[in-house]
A and B are shown apart, each in its own frame.
Chain A
Amino acid sequence: GQNIDQPTEMTATEGAIVQINCTYQTSGFNGLFWYQQHAGEAPTFLSYNVLDGLEEKGRFSSFLSRSKGYSYLLLKELQMKDSASYLCAVRDSNYQLIWGAGTKLIIKP
């Protein structure tokens, strides 16, 4: 079967750096997405990786290793507003998104 694994919950301190990992086992691979979802709100797109390496977007970066079935989302200079769930999703060989259960990130002052 297809599977996306991410930690259920993480805690970090304001101003620090946090890395959220995602491992996947899917039938084929056509890209990996990270989304942010604040409580009670819609998921919003953060990043897309299809080739190995690091993609940087301001305070957020996303890394992909296709050979290892692994990605991470790196958040720098954490702010209280970064408290949210972070969803990892992989597009499989049928171009459908397979979603992880999300990582709830708690930021403490």
Chain B
Amino acid sequence: ETGVTQTPRHLVMGMTNKKSLKCEQHLGHNAMYWYKQSAKKPLELMFVYNFKEQTENNSVPSRFSPECPNSSHLFLHLHTLQPEDSALYLCASSQDDSGGSYEQYFGPGTRLTVT
């Protein structure tokens, strides 16, 4: 248990569906992240929020839409996804994103399958 929870753990959706992934951290951190993890590939950073403000958007397609209502919660809204979007989506948090030795704490991930 890392203090970061994600729901759902598994999700199967069609290309025309709309769904949302939820992440919650109980660590009092100020930065939250969404990553995509595909088999045998490096973690891909998607979005970064620091003090509820989006500070990074790594050229992610608009079919992925993040939302950060407060420092403890992060959502990833999904719509009209493609089969190649099937992957493990990891949420992480850290004290902030300004550097130092602050490590990131990861949630268990949502295994997404797009059919």
Contact = CB atoms under 8 A, between A and B. Distances in A.
Interface of A: 4, 8, 30-31, 33, 41-45, 48, 50, 87, 89, 91, 95-102
Given A48-B101, A50-B101, 16 more contacts: A4-B42, A8-B40, A31-B101, A33-B103, A41-B108, A42-B4, A43-B43, A43-B90, A44-B106, A89-B43, A95-B97, A95-B99, A98-B42, A101-B41, A101-B42, A102-B42
Contacts of B48: 96
Interface in B73-115: 90, 97-101, 103-109
Nearest to B102: A48
A8 B39 CA distance: 12
Nearest to B56: A96
Instruction: Determine the interface band of chain B, counting residues with CB < 8 A from chain A.
Output: 20 to 34
A65 B18 CA distance: 47
Contacts of A43: 43, 90, 106
B2 interface: yes
A30 B99 contact: yes
Contact of B103 (A48, A95, A96, A101): A48
A97 B99 contact: no
Contacts, number: 46
Interface of B: 2, 4, 40-43, 45, 48, 56, 90, 97-101, 103-109
